[in-house]
Chains A and B, each alone.
Chain A
Amino acid sequence: MHRNQFRPGLIFVFVVLGLLIAVAFNTTSRLAEARPGRVSDLVDVVQSMEVQREELQNRLAELRSDLARLEREAADDSGVSKSFSRELDRVRQAAGLSAVTGPGIEIVLGDGSEVAPGADPNDYLIHDTDIAAVVNALFVGGAEAVEVNGERLVATTPIRCAGTTVLVNSARLGSPYIIKAIGDPAELERAVMDDEAASLLFDVYSSQYGLQVSMSKSSELEVTGYRGSLRPQYSVPANGGA
C-alpha cells in the first residue's frame, strides 16, 4: 500500500461519519431513557403514595376509635355528658364513620368474560356509571349504609372512571365490585329492579354480554366505616351550627 494515499478530504468525511453516528447514538439513547423510564417512575411514585395513604388511613381509623373510647371514658367519669356522648355516636354513625351491621343486600358486579369478535370491549365491562346507578337505586330504596369493595360511601364520595379502574373515595377498584347495602332487603331489591339503568344490568346485559352480576338478600351484613379524612376547608356551620 502506498503511503499518504488518503487525502485530507477523505479523512474529514470519516470524522463527520463518526460524529453523525455518535449524535444518532446520543439521540436514541436519550429517547430510550426518556420514554418508558418516566412512565415507570410515575407508576412507582403513585404506588408508593398509595401504600402511604393506606397506612395513614389505618392510623386515622385507629385514632378515631381511640378518640371515641376516650370520649366515652370522659363521659363516664363526669356522668353528666352521657347524653352528649350518645349523641356523638349517633352523629358519627349517620356520617358513616363507624362500621354498622344489619339486614340488607349484597350485589356483585363483574366484567364479562369473553368479548365476541368484532364487538366493542367496553360493552363487556362494568363502568363507573353502572356502579353509580346501582348505588343510587339502593339509596332510593332507603339504604342506610352502602359500601363498594370496602369503601364506605359518605357525603363526599365520588364514583368515577379512572382509566381501567373505578375510583370510589380515593381507592382504585377493579372488577368484581361487591356492593353491600344495609336496609330493608325486599325494599332495596325492588328499588334496584325498578331503576331503569340498574335493572338493565341484571335483565339484559348479564345475558347479552356475560356480565357476572348477582344479588343476594341477607339478614346480617356488615358495612365498614369510612376510613378517609373528613376535613372541610371551606364550609363552616351556618347560623352557628344551630
Chain B
Amino acid sequence: MLALALALALGVTLGLLTNVTVPVAALTYLGVAVLAAIDACLGGVKASLEETFDDKIFISGFLTNTLMAAFIVFVGDRIGVRELYLAAVVAFGLRVFENLGTVRRLLFSRWGWE
C-alpha cells in the first residue's frame, strides 16, 4: 500500500515539477484518461488482493481501455455528438465503484473483520 501511495505521489510531483499542460481541446481526453487510470489502478489492487494479478493482462488492459475511450471521444467529436464521451465516463465510473467495493470486502476478509 505504501509503495502505491509513493508511486502516486511521485507521479504528481513529476507532473507538477515539469509543469506540463495540454491544449484546452484535449481536456476531455485527459479527463477520460484520468478515469481510465483510476479504473486500472483499482482493478490492479483488486487482482493483487485476489492473487490473480498478471502484469501482461494488466498493462494491456489499461492501454486498450484508454485507447478505446480516447477513440470514443474522438468519434464523438467528429460526428458532432460531443456527449459520446459520457459513454466512456459512465463505463469507467461504474467499474471504479464496483472494484472499490470488491477491494473493501477483500481487505476486510484479509484483516479478519468479517
Chain A interface (Cβ < 8 Å from any Cβ of B): 1, 5-28, 30-31
Contacts and interface: CB of A to CB of B under 8 A. Distances in A.
Given A9-B55, A24-B31, 5 more contacts: A1-B1, A9-B59, A22-B13, A23-B30, A26-B15
Given A6-B48, A7-B48, A17-B41, A22 B58 contact: no
B37 A17 contact: yes
A15 B8 contact: yes
Contacts of A19: 11-12, 14-15
A10 B61 CA distance: 12
Interface residues of B, number: 38
A27 B38 CA distance: 19
A49 B1 CA distance: 59
A26 B11 contact: no
Contact of B34 (A7, A8, A17): A17
| Interface class of chain B by DSSP | helix
Interface stretch (B19-27, B74-82, B83-91): B19-27
B15 A7 contact: no
Contacts of A15: 7-8, 10-11, 14
23 contacts: A5-B48, A5-B49, A6-B3, A6-B48, A10-B45, A11-B7, A13-B41, A13-B58, A13-B59, A15-B11, A15-B14, A16-B11, A16-B37, A17-B34, A18-B11, A19-B12, A19-B14, A20-B11, A20-B30, A22-B12, A25-B16, A26-B21, A31-B24
Interface of B: 1, 3-4, 7-16, 19-22, 24, 27, 30-31, 33-34, 37-38, 40-41, 44-45, 48-49, 51, 53, 55, 58-59, 62, 110
